[in-house]
C-alpha cells in the first residue's frame, strides 16, 4: 500500500512533553502553524517559507504541489501524489513544518481535511505525525480514507 505523508508537524520544543496530561489548551492553528490552510502555499504555486516539501518527483519519489481544493473559504491545499506507475511507492512524499511555542506537559490536537478521490479502493494511506526536536517520532498514525466513512463530509 502506498503511504503519503500529509500532516507531519515537526515540533522544535517538544523535549520534556509528558505522555499523559490533564491540562488541555485550546488554541487556533494561526497561533502555532504558519499558513495553516495552505493559502500562501497556493498563491506561491507550491512554494513556501513555512512548509517544507518532502518529495522528489524527478527520481520517482512522489510529487507535492498546491491545489485550489479547500474545506474552508480561501483557495489552498496541498496535493500529494505519485505521477507514474514506475514510481517508488515505498517513498512517503508530503509536507512538514517546524512548530515553535509548544508548552511542556500540554496536549495538542492536529486536525486537517483529507480527500482521496480514489475512495475506499485507494492504494494510498495518509501518515500524520509529530517528530521531536531530535528527529524521533513522538506520535504517528496511518489513515486510509475508508476509515473515515463516518466523518463529516464537505459538500
pLDDT 10s digits, 47-65: 999 999 999 999 999 999 9
- pLDDT at residue 23, rounded to an integer: 43
Percent residues over pLDDT 70 in the chain: 78
Q: Assess if residue 24 is contained within a domain.
A: yes
For residues 48 and 50, what is the distance between their CA atoms, to the nearest angstrom? 5
Q: Assess if residue 62 is contained within a domain.
A: yes
Percentages of the chain per state (helix, strand, coil), in multiples of 5: 10, 30, 60
Q: Assess if residue 154 is contained within a domain.
A: no
- What number of helices (H) and strands (E) belong to the chain? 2, 7
For 87-104, how does the pLDDT look when each residue is reduced to its tens digit (9 = 90+)?
998 999 999 999 888 888
The residue segments making up the domain with residue 37 are 2-145
Q: Assess if residue 129 is contained within a domain.
A: yes
Q: Assess if residue 74 is contained within a domain.
A: yes
Q: Assess if residue 92 is contained within a domain.
A: yes
Q: How many domains does the chain have?
A: 1
Q: What is the mean pLDDT of the chain?
A: 78
The more confident residue out of 13 and 6 is 6
Burial class (CB in 10 A: 0-12, 13-18, 19+), 1: exposed
Q: Assess if residue 151 is contained within a domain.
A: no
Q: Assess if residue 150 is contained within a domain.
A: no
The more confident residue out of 14 and 29 is 29
Amino acid at each position: 500500500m502506498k503511504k503519503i505523508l500529509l500532516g507531519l508537524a515537526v515540533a522544535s520544543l517538544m523535549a520534556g512533553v509528558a505522555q499523559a496530561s490533564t491540562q488541555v489548551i485550546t488554541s487556533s492553528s494561526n497561533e502555532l502553524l504558519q499558513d495553516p490552510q495552505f493559502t500562501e502555499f497556493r498563491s506561491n504555486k507550491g512554494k513556501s517559507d513555512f512548509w517544507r516539501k518532502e518529495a522528489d518527483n524527478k527520481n520517482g519519489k512522489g510529487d507535492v504541489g498546491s491545489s485550489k481544493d479547500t474545506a474552508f473559504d480561501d483557495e489552498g491545499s496541498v496535493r500529494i501524489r505519485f505521477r507514474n506507475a514506475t514510481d517508488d511507492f515505498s517513498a512517503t512524499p508530503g509536507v512538514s513544518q517546524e512548530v515553535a511555542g509548544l508548552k511542556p506537559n500540554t496536549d495538542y490536537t492536529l486536525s486537517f481535511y483529507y480527500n482521496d478521490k480514489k475512495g475506499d479502493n485507494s492504494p494510498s494511506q495518509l501518515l500524520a505525525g509529530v517528530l521531536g526536536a531530535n528527529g524521533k517520532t513522538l506520535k504517528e498514525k496511518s489513515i486510509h480514507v475508508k476509515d473515515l466513512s463516518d466523518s463529516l463530509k464537505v459538500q
